[in-house]
A and B are shown apart, each in its own frame.
Chain A
Amino acid sequence: MLRSMKKLLNDCGILIYNFASHIDYTTIAQRCVAQCKTHLPNIPIMSVGQLIPGADSHCDMDNPQHNKKVFGNKSKTWHNLARHHSFEISPWYRTVVIDSDFMIMTDQLQKLFASDQQIMMHRQWYDITNDAVETMSVGTSAIDMMWATVLKFDRTDEVQQFFDLWKKVITNYSYYAKLFAFSSHVIRNDFAVSIALKQLCNFGSVDHCVIPWNIHTTRDSVTVKNFGDNKITFTDAKSNFNVAFDCHVLNKESLADAC
């Protein structure tokens, strides 16, 4: 079957954002697209922001609201505040938004496309360095942090409400930062989606929105040594190791170098 036909039949796809910063995000995003095509060959990919070579379609967008993040020991501009527009941007009924530093190594995300759950995100993360599965909190509140790294959503009214709430949290971020006692210096999508989802559920349980496996994450101190289609080789103070599963890489500089 032709790839374009598959798109029409599936009505689902992957959104990847790409905005230039001091890190070569286009190289990272290009590799991310290539990995998606290797492991999820039937799923169309749309790039947002700057064009990502290899993506099936593109949505132009100017650099969004500026944000700051500490890379190494320096605070630098970071364009991560556009993802709350995904509901308007996505042309599909079922969408998975992934960070460009989330490297696909398996077809595991296919399960999200098959699920009828309207919104899904990771709550537990697997810290590979310390071999620990953890859940973080939003500031000092009892709200568990949901990871915005992988976000699955369907085109429904309830999900639109979620995105509206997400936008409001971003707009009033300093208010929520004071309320839940976290830093307002860096606007974190993770905190914003966690608060928005809680609001959507009237501060009740969000268990039904949790992706039932852990997001594999390597910390800033772990550098990417090598990159293959099915595994990434990392190195840290202790040794080299391979990860043959979808992995969120926090050390973006080494990721860009390895791509």
Chain B
Amino acid sequence: MSQRRFAIKRDLNLLRQRCEAQLIMVYQGGMFRCDEHMICYAKTLQSGDVIMDTNYTPIKISDAQDFVQHVEQQHRMAMNEYAEEYEKIVE
């Protein structure tokens, strides 16, 4: 029983690591972590604003609406996969 619990914990940790990597998106040459904070932040941006990517490089967002769409899409894709794989592990 404890071995099973250990295996589940390890699988979940591996899944979380993979999911965190999948949250990274490249947009206009910059890398962005599309987590919940970025979703909120992205929605405050206006076209032409400059933001920092994960490597502290300034990136000009020429189309704020398009950026929001990409951030949300990446976040949703990673979360859906996380939920799907999570179910497989714990069932």
A and B interact physically:
yes
Number of A-B contacts (CB under 8 A): 67
Residues B21-36 near A (CB distance < 8 A): 21-22, 24-26, 29-31, 33
Residue B10 contacts which of A111, A117, A209, A241 (CB distance < 8 angstroms)? A241
- Range class of the B interface residue count: 20 to 34
B29 to chain A: which residues have CB within 8 Å? Answer: 114-117
Given the contacts A115-B30, A117-B55, A244 and B3 also touching, CB distance less than 8 Å: no
In this assembly, does A226 line the interface, its C-beta being within 8 Å of a C-beta of chain B?
no
In this assembly, does B20 line the interface, its C-beta being within 8 Å of a C-beta of chain A?
yes
Given the contacts A108-B22, A239-B7, A241-B11, A126 and B17 also touching, CB distance less than 8 Å: yes
On chain A, the number of residues with a Cβ less than 8 Å from chain B's Cβ atoms is 27
Residue A207 contacts which of B17, B21, B26, B56 (CB distance < 8 angstroms)? B56
A108 and B31 CA atoms in complex are apart in Å by 12
Structural contact, A210 and B18, CB atoms closer than 8 A: no
In this assembly, does A131 line the interface, its C-beta being within 8 Å of a C-beta of chain B?
yes
Residue A244 contacts which of B10, B18, B20, B31 (CB distance < 8 angstroms)? B18
In this assembly, does B69 line the interface, its C-beta being within 8 Å of a C-beta of chain A?
no
A213 and B23 CA atoms in complex are apart in Å by 9
A241 and B14 CA atoms in complex are apart in Å by 10
Closest to B11 in A: A241
In this assembly, does A242 line the interface, its C-beta being within 8 Å of a C-beta of chain B?
yes
